[in-house]
Amino acid sequence: MMKYYLKCVKCGYETLDFPAWFSANQECVKCKTKYSEVWYHSDYNNFPDLLRGNPEDFWYYFDYLPLNDRKNVVSCKEGAAPMERWEFLRDYARKEFGINCYVYVYRNDLNGGTNTFKDVAASLAASLFKEHNITQYTIASTGNTATAYSKYLSLAGIKLTVFVPDCITQDSVNEMHSYHQDVRIVDGDYAFAKKMAAQFHQQNKILISSGNIDPIRVEAKKTMVFEFLRQLGEMPDVYIQAVSGGTGPIAIDKGVRELEPLYPYINLPRMVLVQQDTCDPMVQGWEEAVEDNFPDGWETRYPIINNPQTSVSILSTGNPAMYPVVAPIVKKSGGSFVRVKEENLTDLAAKVYKEKNLVLGPASIVCLSGFYKALQEKQINNGDTVLINTGEGVARAKEFEGEVMG
């Protein structure tokens, strides 16, 4: 029996495995949609035993990941980052809002690859490509995904051609070049970078990332749910993340649905997804839907921001094509999209540095800003456990680091 299969979200057609998926241009051969999910024949009765372990990386959950042979694992100890209780955030909630809550921060800057939320996806991708003899790949990215894939695919001996917008930081470009990958900075925004990557894929018949619904990325990041259960003993009540595309929320929803037969009472956390006011198309779409009381087709209505003028290049997705997928998950969870002011990021980062002797990247500070906004908008209740998923460290944002440290 095969370990896993892919199932089309739209029509239910089952694709045998990833080689079949790749040969079908990463789409359902029946209805031609690109959104399929991985499901397993593994014995989930053994899963609770894993929650008592102390893993070094997310490959600890090998039986529930779509790789057949452990010898193909490409890993730098990622995906089992600690969840730290940050008492100064709890104290703030109690003092300023009278809210008693537990606040944990999921430290993706401690991942052993490139210190970002993207390392787990890059690790699974490199491992799968190694197992199935994929030698070339292409991707468009705003920065962190490109950097992570550059490193992990290099470790697997796979050539990567990456297309990035011209707003990307030079620090990111330098690191990608250090892995001897082909980095192409386009004369335009992220939407244009995706267009260029798609043309390159078509012209050269090279495998391309299928974006935020890419089953590789979703499967890697769904292990967050496993880590919530292992480290917290339960699902958090509130989950906060800065959002550009939205793989994180999609992956959490998948992880919860995967474990529902084992844990019938497992619930999605209320998702608070954060964007800065200089690039906030998902927030704008959500606000319109709330004002109109979620009319039919509300999830397909959102603005497109061409060439967003933001210093947080990692969160510069002006055309949020995943909003129709992500927004219904947020609504189902009872959560919300919130907007924070980009001009306040440096001050908050300085506060974090004072409290924790730690400088996080600007996208992580957008996420942390969402905690304060969630309190203001009454998204956090007494007794809640709040999980803040910070995205990245500051290694590729030296200018921001300099501003924070004065």
d(CA 19, CA 36): 14
Cβ atoms 366, 274 nearer than 8 A? yes
- pLDDT in tens for each of the 406 residues of the chain? 789 999 999 999 999 999 999 999 999 999 999 999 999 999 999 999 999 999 999 999 999 999 999 999 999 999 998 999 999 999 999 999 999 999 999 999 999 999 999 999 999 999 999 999 999 999 999 888 999 999 999 999 999 999 999 988 898 999 999 999 999 999 999 999 999 999 999 999 999 998 999 999 999 999 999 999 999 999 999 999 999 999 999 999 999 999 999 999 999 999 999 999 999 999 999 999 999 999 999 999 999 999 999 999 999 999 999 999 999 999 999 999 999 999 999 999 999 999 999 999 999 999 999 999 999 999 999 999 999 999 899 988 899 999 998 7
* Domain assignments of the chain as residue spans, ordered by start: 83-112+216-405
Report CA 151 to chain centroid distance, whole Å: 17
Neighbouring residues of 124: CB distance < 8 A, sequence distance ≥ 6:
65, 66, 67, 216, 217, 219, 220
Rounded CA-CA distance 228/234 in Å is 6
Domain 83-112+216-405 sits in CATH at 3.40.50.1100
State residue 214's pLDDT score: 97
Residue recorded with tokens 């970002």: 116
Q: How far is CA 260 from CA 66, 225, 253, 392, 400, in A?
A: 19, 12, 11, 30, 42
- State pTM to two decimals: 0.97
pLDDT of residue 301: 98
Res 142: pLDDT: 87
SS (H, E, C) 276-324: ECCCCHHHHHHHHHHHCCCCCCHHHCCCCCCCCCCCCHHHCCCCCCCHH
CB 276 within 8 A of CB 308: no
Is residue 2 within 8 Å of residue 18, measured between CB atoms? no
